[in-house]
C-alpha cells in the first residue's frame, strides 16, 4: 500500500500530544520518509510522535494494553492496521477499546481505509450531557444526543458525541457526523455502524464563529435516510451548536487539510497561498464547482483584500486563454483579512456555477487577491488543470409509458410529460420524463412521496436528478432538451 496519503492524514489531523503506534519497523521508516513531505519536519518537535512497539512480531497482551493506556493518557492514539497478512491485532485493539465502559470509552475519531490498511484514531474525552432528540429516520430512531466541548479552537480539537438509538441489533445502517456553517461542510466523520460514542475533529484554518454539529443516518447503499413525518424533506438533523475560536497559539501550516500543496508557496499582499483542494470527481458543466484555498498570514498586518478565482479555457498549445467561469468576493462577512493574527491559518471555500454549455475538456484554475476599494487585482497564480465534462444532450423526445396530457409545467423552466413505474418486493422505481424550457438554477432536487390512504408519507425520495448515464443536475439542463430521470 502507498502510505503517503495515510501519513498525510495523520500529519494534517494530528496534534503535538498524539502518538502513532507502529507494529512493524518499516512503518517507522515510512514515517521518517513521508512526514517531512507532508510538511512536518522531524526536527520541528511537532507531533505526532511515533512509537515502535517491538522490533519483532507484536501480539495482543498486557504490554500492548499498557502501551495503549499510556498513549491515551497523553493524547490521541493513531494506529495503522495492516489487514492483508491475516493478523488479528487490529481487531483485538478495536475490541479492547470498544469494550470499555461508555463513560471511559476512548472516542473513535478516524477510520479510513488505504488499500489493505485501516487508519484508526481514538482519544479519551469526558462524556457530554445528553439531551432529548426524538428523530424518526423510519428504520431507526434517535432518542438522545450530546456533544462536548461546546467551544473548540480551530486546531484539530477533538469532539465527543454520545448518541442513544432505538434500532435493531443487526441494523445495516451507518451514520455521518458533519460540522456545518452557512451550508458549507467543514468536517465529517462517517461510520458504517450506529455508534453510541463517536467523535469529530475540528480542523485547522476555520474562521471563528458559530457552527452546528449535524447527524445523518446512512443506508447500506450509502444514501442518507430522510427524516419521516415532517413537512419538508430533511436528511441531516442538528445535534448542538459549536463555537469555534482562534487558537491561542499558532498552528503549523502542515495541519491544514490541503489536497494539492504548492511546491513553493506564493505570497500575495502578505498572505501566503499554500495550496488548494478541488473536486475529486470530474465536475459536470452546469453544476457548482467547489474549491478551497489554504492560506497563512505571513505579515504583522494584512490590508483589506478579497479574492478572485478564475477557470480559464486552454488552447491547443496548452496555454490558458479567456475565463469561462469564476468567483470574486470574500466568503466571511465577519472575518476580513485585516482580522488575521500573525501566522494565522485560513481556509477560504468558494463555490461557483459552471455554464451548462462548457464543452468536455481540461481547463486552468487560477487565483489572486483584489483590492475591494480600488478594484485592482494581483497577478493571477496558476493552480492545477481541471477537467470538466458535459453531459450527452438529447433533443429527441422519448415517449413515456404513462403520458401526462397536458404536461405538468414547473414555473417557466421545465415540463413533466409523463412517467413510468416498476415495482418489486423491495422498492418502487419511478422514471420521470422531462422537456426542458430553460436552465433551472440554483440546482434543484426531485422529491417523490408515497402516501397511504390517510395522507401519511410512508416512503419518499429526495435527491439530485440522475439519468441512466449518471448525474444530471438541473443546472446542466439545456433549452429544448429531453431527458429521463430515475
Residue 262 placed within a domain = no
**Higher model confidence: residue 126 or residue 317?**
126
Q: Are residues 379 and 436 in the same domain?
A: no
pLDDT at 201: 99
pLDDT at 338: 96
3-state secondary structure the chain: CCCHHHHHHHHHHCCCCCEEEECCHHHHHHHHHHCCCCCCCHHHCCCCEEEECCCCCCCCCHHHHHHHHHHHHHCCEEEEEECCCCCCHHHHHHHHHHCCCHHHCCEEEEEEEECCEEEEEEECCCCCCCEEEEEECCCCEEEEEEEECCEEECCCEEEEEEEEEECCCCCCCEEEEEEEECCEEEEEEEECCCCCEEEEEECCCCCCEEEEEEEEEECCCCCECCCCCCCCCCCCEEEEEEEEECCCCCCCHHHCCCCEEEEEEEEECCEEEEEEECCCCCCECCCEEEEEEEEEECCCCCCCCEEEEEEEEECCCCCEEEEEEEEEECCCCCCCHHHCCCCCEEEEEEEEECCCCCCCEEEEEEEEEECCCCCCECCCEEEEEEEEECCCCCCCCCCCCEEEEEEEEECCCEEEEEEEEEECCCCEEEEEEEEECCCCCCCCCEEEEEECCCCCEEEEEEECCEECCEECCHHHCCCCCEEEEC
pLDDT at 200: 99
Residue 428 placed within a domain = yes
Q: How far apart are the first and last CA of the chain?
A: 38
Q: Is the pLDDT of residue 334 over 90?
A: yes
pLDDT at 232: 78
What is the average per-residue pLDDT within 115-135?
A: 96
Lowest-pLDDT choice from 109-113, 203-207, 470-474: 470-474
Domain total for the chain?
4
| Cα gap 428→433, rounded to integer Å | 16
pLDDT at 229: 76
pLDDT in tens, 364-390: 999 999 999 999 999 999 999 999 999
Q: Are residues 142 and 110 in the same domain?
A: no
pLDDT at 362: 95
Backbone angles phi, psi at 442, to 5 degrees: -65, 170
**Which of 107, 123, 139 is where one domain is finished?**
123
Q: Is the pLDDT of residue 435 over 80?
A: yes
Residue 320 placed within a domain = yes
Q: Is the pLDDT of residue 462 over 80?
A: no
Q: Is the pLDDT of residue 455 over 90?
A: no
CATH of the domain at 356: 2.60.40.10
Percent of the chain's residues with pLDDT above 70: 100
pLDDT at 45: 83
| Cα gap 369→293, rounded to integer Å | 12
Q: Are residues 155 and 114 in the same domain?
A: no
pLDDT at 88: 87
**Mean pLDDT for all residues in the chain:** 93
What is the average per-residue pLDDT within 468-485?
A: 94
Q: Are residues 115 and 163 in the same domain?
A: no
Q: Are residues 137 and 240 in the same domain?
A: yes
C-alpha distances out from residue 40 to 15, 36, 255, Å: 11, 5, 9
pLDDT at 437: 95
pLDDT at 348: 98
**Which of 123, 156, 180 is where one domain is finished?**
123
CATH of the domain at 139: 2.60.40.2550
Q: Is the pLDDT of residue 233 over 80?
A: no
Q: Is the pLDDT of residue 217 over 90?
A: yes
Query: Could you tell me which of 368, 375, 419, 27 has the C-alpha nearest to residue 19?
Result: 27
Residue 36 placed within a domain = yes
Range of the domain at 343: 278-388
Residue 338 placed within a domain = yes
Residue 64 placed within a domain = yes
Q: How confident is the model at residue 480 (pLDDT cuts 50, 70, 90)?
A: very high
Q: Are residues 304 and 206 in the same domain?
A: no
pTM: 0.90
Amino acid at each position: 500500500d502507498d502510505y503517503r496519503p495515510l501519513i498525510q492524514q495523520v500529519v494534517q489531523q494530528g496534534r503535538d500530544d498524539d502518538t502513532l503506534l507502529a507494529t512493524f519497523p518499516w512503518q517507522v521508516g515510512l514515517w521518517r520518509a513521508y512526514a517531512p513531505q507532508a510538511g512536518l519536519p522531524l526536527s520541528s518537535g511537532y507531533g505526532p510522535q511515533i512509537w515502535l512497539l517491538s522490533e519483532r512480531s507484536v501480539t495482543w497482551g498486557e504490554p500492548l494494553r499498557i502501551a495503549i493506556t499510556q498513549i491515551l493518557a497523553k493524547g490521541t492514539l493513531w494506529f495503522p492496521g495492516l489487514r492483508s497478512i491475516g493478523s488479528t491485532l487490529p481487531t483485538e485493539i478495536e475490541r479492547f477499546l470498544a469494550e470499555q465502559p461508555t463513560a471511559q470509552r476512548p472516542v473513535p475519531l478516524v477510520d479510513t481505509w488505504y488499500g489493505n490498511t485501516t487508519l484508526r484514531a481514538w482519544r479519551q474525552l469526558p462524556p457530554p450531557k445528553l439531551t432529548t432528540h426524538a428523530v424518526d429516520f423510519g428504520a431507526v430512531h434517535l432518542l438522545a444526543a450530546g456533544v462536548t466541548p461546546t467551544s473548540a479552537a480551530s486546531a484539530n480539537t477533538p469532539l465527543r458525541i454520545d448518541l442513544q438509538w432505538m434500532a435493531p441489533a443487526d441494523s445495516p445502517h451507518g451514520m455521518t457526523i458533519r460540522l456545518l456553517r452557512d451550508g458549507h461542510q467543514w468536517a465529517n466523520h462517517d461510520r458504517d455502524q450506529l455508534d453510541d460514542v463517536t467523535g469529530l475533529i475540528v480542523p485547522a484554518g476555520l474562521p471563528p464563529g458559530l457552527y452546528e454539529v449535524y447527524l445523518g443516518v446512512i443506508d447500506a447503499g450509502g444514501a442518507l435516510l430522510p427524516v419521516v413525518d415532517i413537512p419538508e424533506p430533511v436528511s441531516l438533523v442538528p445535534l448542538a451548536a459549536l463555537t469555534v475560536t482562534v487558537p491561542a497559539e499558532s498552528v503549523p501550516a502542515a495541519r491544514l487539510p490541503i489536497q494539492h500543496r504548492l511546491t513553493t508557496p506564493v505570497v500575495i499582499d502578505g498572505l501566503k497561498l499554500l495550496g488548494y483542494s478541488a473536486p475529486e470527481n470530474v465536475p459536470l458543466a452546469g453544476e457548482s464547482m467547489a474549491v478551497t484555498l489554504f492560506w497563512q498570514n505571513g505579515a504583522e498586518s494584512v490590508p483589506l483584500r478579497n479574492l478572485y478565482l478564475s477557470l480559464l479555457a486552454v488552447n491547443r498549445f496548452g496555454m490558458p486563454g479567456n475565463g469561462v467561469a469564476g468567483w470574486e468576493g470574500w466568503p466571511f462577512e465577519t472575518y476580513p483579512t485585516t482580522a488575521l493574527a500573525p501566522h494565522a491559518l485560513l481556509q477560504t471555500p468558494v463555490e461557483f456555477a459552471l455554464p451548462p454549455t462548457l464543452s468536455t475538456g481540461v481547463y486552468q484554475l487560477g487565483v489572486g487577491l483584489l483590492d475591494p476599494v480600488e478594484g485592482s487585482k494581483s497577478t493571477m497564480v496558476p493552480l492545477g488543470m481541471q477537467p470538466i465534462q458535459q453531459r450527452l444532450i438529447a433533443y429527441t423526445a422519448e415517449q413515456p409509458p404513462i403520458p401526462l396530457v397536458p404536461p405538468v409545467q414547473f414555473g417557466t423552466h421545465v415540463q413533466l410529460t409523463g412517467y413510468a413505474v416498476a415495482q418489486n418486493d423491495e422498492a418502487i422505481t419511478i422514471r420521470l420524463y422531462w422537456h426542458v424550457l430553460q436552465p433551472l438554477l440554483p440546482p434543484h432536487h426531485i422529491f417523490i412521496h408515497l402516501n397511504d390512504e390517510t395522507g401519511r408519507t410512508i416512503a419518499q425520495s429526495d435527491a439530485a436528478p440522475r439519468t441512466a448515464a449518471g448525474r444530471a443536475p438541473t443546472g446542466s439542463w439545456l433549452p429544448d432538451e429531453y431527458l429521463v430521470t430515475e
